């Protein structure tokens, strides 16, 4: 469980690097698509915003925590203002509807980040529960196997031990037919024991 917690920690160097690279790649791809779409169709900036909204959803889904979603939302709002609204390549906070766009994108980022973080936590809990169940099943199977093995080994050993004790202590009072039967039983039990051990070794 400690190892899993470390992996999910956004301050972990590998996770942080992954989050940064993922965010940069997704925003770059979204920007390329936005520029292509804008120059081909001369579309309204509101339509361009949809591409960045999709990028925000993906970033919030694959990164840890809320930071990268919020930073990406700020980038998207400023970049849309700078590149896709007149006057181009200037940030103009006086544009009508700009505050609404800003709040809208930031809200989407926060909502999606919250939902995806909760989903990740639920997935983690489900995995840990399944792992615990699997461990419990393994322990139960191991215990059942040990009980079965001990029973299969104890039965012929007890028979061999009892028959050998009878021969040692009462051999002079037993007739030949009884001795032959005891010898046969000891041999059969030893063969059974050998078979059980060979089966265990093969498993």
pLDDT at 179: 86
Report how far residue 146's alpha carbon sits from residue 126's, in angstroms, rounded to the nearest whole number.
30
CA-to-CA distance for 179 and 168, rounded, in angstroms? 11
Residue with tokens 């990740």: 120
Q: Are 81 and 95 in contact (CB under 8 A)?
A: yes
Spatial separation of the C-alpha atoms in residues 96 and 74, rounded to whole Å: 18
pLDDT at position 101 over 80: no
How many percent of the chain have pLDDT more than 70?
80
pLDDT range class, residue 197, cuts 50, 70, 90: confident
Check pLDDT > 70 for residue 89.
no
Q: Nearest to residue 38, comparing CAs of 4, 88, 75?
A: 88
């Amino acid at each position: 469980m400690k190892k899993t917690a470390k992996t999910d920690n956004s301050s972990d160097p590998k996770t942080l690097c992954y989050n940064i690279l993922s965010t940069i790649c997704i925003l770059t791809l979204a920007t390329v698509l936005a520029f292509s779409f804008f120059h081909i169709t001369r579309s309204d900036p509101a339509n361009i915003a949809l591409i960045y909204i999709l990028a925000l959803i993906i970033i919030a889904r694959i990164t840890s925590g809320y930071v990268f979603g919020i930073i990406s939302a700020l980038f998207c709002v400023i970049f849309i203002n700078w590149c896709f609204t007149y006057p181009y390549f200037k940030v103009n906070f006086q544009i009508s509807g700009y505050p609404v766009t800003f709040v809208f994108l930031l809200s989407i980022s926060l909502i999606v980040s919250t939902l995806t973080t909760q989903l990740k936590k639920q997935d983690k809990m489900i995995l840990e529960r399944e792992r615990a169940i699997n461990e419990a099943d393994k322990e139960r199977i191991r215990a059942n196997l040990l009980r079965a093995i001990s029973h299969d080994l104890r039965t012929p050993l007890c028979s061999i031990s009892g028959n050998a004790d009878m021969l040692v202590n009462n051999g002079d009072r037993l007739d030949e037919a009884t001795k032959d039967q005891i010898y046969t039983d000891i041999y059969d039990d030893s063969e059974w024991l050998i078979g059980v051990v060979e089966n265990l070794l093969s498993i």
